[in-house]
Amino acid sequence: MQVNPHLSFKGDCEAAFKFYEQRLGGKIQFLLTYGASPAAKDVSPEWRDKIIHATLQLGDSILAGVDTPPSHYQDPRGISLTLETKDPAEAERAFAALAEGGEVQMALQETFWAARFGMLTDRFGIPWMVNCGKAAQQQSA
């Protein structure tokens, strides 16, 4: 069993997935517009170029997404995507890329559990945490 996040966008899913592909080194696997789908007859002409389903391969994970019609869209609440890396330099690079045009809630920094950890909301309204854990340490009882 695997859990894969499915993100809703306000009409900029394609731009978001191309941004993630370029900045995070993923690969778009699938990108289908409403207009090219069986739902074409049920959507307004201005919505036909929006994305009904997209998938992005990112390492061993799949990120899925959709442009949600305005009447059904809700901002993400109570969740964050966590980007996990073992390389502090990679954490710095990914955090800077995701923060571009977004809003940083916690700057990338060393914490008691991580060599680097930071939180942000990207330019598409998606909340992220970037984590680069420290080497395992012996804990005293």
Successive 10-residue mean pLDDT values, the chain, 141 residues: 93 98 96 95 93 96 95 93 96 98 98 97 98 71 48
Strands 27-33, 51-58: parallel, antiparallel or unpaired by DSSP? antiparallel
Residue 25: strand, helix, or coil: coil
In the chain, the amino acid numbered 25 is G
pLDDT for position 137: 53
pLDDT for position 36: 97
DSSP state for residue 113 in the 8-state scheme: S
Provide the token pair at 115. 């060599």
Residue showing tokens 């990679």: 90
- 8 A C-beta contact, residue 118 and residue 108: yes
pLDDT for position 1: 87
pLDDT for position 140: 47
- 8 A C-beta contact, residue 26 and residue 56: yes
Residue 122: CB atoms within 10 Å: 20
Residue showing tokens 């998938």: 55
Residue showing tokens 């695997």: 2
pLDDT for position 139: 46
pLDDT for position 31: 97
pLDDT for position 135: 75
pLDDT for position 11: 96
Q: How far apart are CA 58 and CA 76, in angstroms?
A: 20
pLDDT for position 138: 44
